[in-house]
Amino acid sequence: MRLNVIIAGFMSDFKTFTRSKGTLFWTLAFPIMLILIFGAIFSGADEAEYELVVIDYDDTDTSMMFINALDGTSIIKVKNLTIEKDKISSYIKDNNIKRLLVINEGFEQSIGMVKSGIDVNATTNLSFYFDQSEQTTNSVVRSVLSSFAIEWSMNSFGAKHVINIDDFETLSGEFNFIDFFLPGMIGFTTMQTCIYGTLERNTKFRKDGILRKLLTTPVTRTEWIFSKMLFQLFLSFVSTILIILIGIGAFGLNININLLMVLLIIGTSFLFTGLAMIIGRFVKDEESAAMAGGAISFPMMFLAGTFFPLEQMPGFLQAFAKILPLYYVNEGLRDAMITVKTDTALINTGVVIGLAVVLFIIGLLLTKWKED
């Protein structure tokens, strides 16, 4: 066994490795990106803060003490609200409220009876309204509320089971994690299809000189781009239909197929195709295209609410997520397909279509058939 041959073989592989930008990225930058994203998400998991709207119908010193103590926890951020009882349901629906707690009349009176010994078995009930489509976050808040109520009662007057919490679901129907997950998968899959499909095709065609040859044909640049866009749109709908069929067949989901959902799929296809055309203008080979596509799509996959609610992430990542196009796609699809919140679905659809128009036009203008 000759050592010089082994070393020569090693050096050959090393030079090939260092000359390939794509290989360098997926070997070195990809795991760094992975640990930074997940580290940022889960390092702040214990510091996550959940907003809770609180309505105090008792309006006493005791109820105010309870609210202030609840707001003083590191997990619950209280937002006080004054509203008539018969308007609670409409307020929750109109304002897309995820969690709301009602302190009913008689709160102080019941606690006073226990403290004074008049009736040590007296109890008071709080009403907790929650959006059951977000099971993970709401189960955390519900657990915190129960533990806090017991601890506050024990610290205040040495009694344990004084405060009970009644649960009220704000959405009709049963929801679980797959209801949250499926629209996110549709948005993510459409994004991946359009970004990678467009980047790889445009880069390959430019490298092989096909784009220059198209100048000699009667086909215009706009016609060619829209023909390719039509194919990306076709693939987007194929993957969407497949995901929906699996959701219905395997998990028994009740999915709403409507115009807003269709518009969102179309808008998403144009949006990410336009984004890919913009990126593709600055990459020279297929390997770099794959690297660029991964650098764009990978962070959005995890930070735009595809797999878990934004509230599980630190505040700065939640703010960052709301500038990502995929966030509005995911939220719009959930509103249109699962929870049927037409108002918010319209807003998210408008954002997606607006971004699609801007990015696609820019991509159209930047796509050239001639090399600079």
Cβ atoms within 10 Å of 252's Cβ, excluding its own: 9
Give the global pTM: 0.71
Question: Would you list the domain boundaries of the chain?
Answer: 45-169, 177-366
For 188, the 3-state DSSP assignment is: helix
Give pLDDT, residue 38: 57
Q: Over 90: is that where the pLDDT of 346 sits?
A: yes
Which pLDDT band holds residue 43 (cuts at 50, 70, 90)?
A: low
27-41, 112-126, 285-299: the lowest-pLDDT one: 27-41
Give pLDDT, residue 237: 92
For 48, the 3-state DSSP assignment is: coil
Highest mean pLDDT among 30-34, 209-213, 275-279: 275-279
Tens of pLDDT, residues 147-160: 888 888 887 777 66
Which pLDDT band holds residue 372 (cuts at 50, 70, 90)?
A: very low
Across 234-240, average pLDDT:
90
Cα–Cα distances in angstroms (integers) from residue 337 to residues 100, 258, 329, 341, in the given order: 24, 8, 12, 9
CATH number of 45-169: 3.40.1710.10
User: Over pLDDT 70: what percentage of the chain?
Assistant: 83
What φ, ψ does residue 83 adopt, rounded to 5°? -155, 150
Give pLDDT, residue 347: 94
Cα–Cα distances in angstroms (integers) from residue 269 to residues 21, 86, 176, 299, 326, in the given order: 28, 43, 27, 18, 11
Q: Over 90: is that where the pLDDT of 262 sits?
A: yes
Strands 50-56 and 99-103: parallel
Cα–Cα distances in angstroms (integers) from residue 60 to residues 70, 71, 72, 86, in the given order: 15, 17, 18, 21
Torsion 266-267-272-273 (CA) sign: positive
CB proximity list for 236: less than 8 A, separation 6 or greater? 189, 190, 193, 194, 265, 268, 269
Q: Give the Cα separation of 222 and 365 in Å (integer).
A: 9
Across 293-300, average pLDDT:
82
| HSE, side-chain direction, 13 A CA sphere, residue 301 | 18
Token code pair at residue 133: 């489509």
Tens of pLDDT, residues 12-34: 666 766 666 665 665 666 566 66
Strands 76-81 and 163-169: unpaired
Highest mean pLDDT among 22-26, 82-86, 238-242: 238-242
363 compared with 287, residue with greater pLDDT: 363
Q: Give the Cα separation of 264 and 286 in Å (integer).
A: 29
For 102, the 3-state DSSP assignment is: strand
Torsion 31-34-36-42 (CA) sign: negative
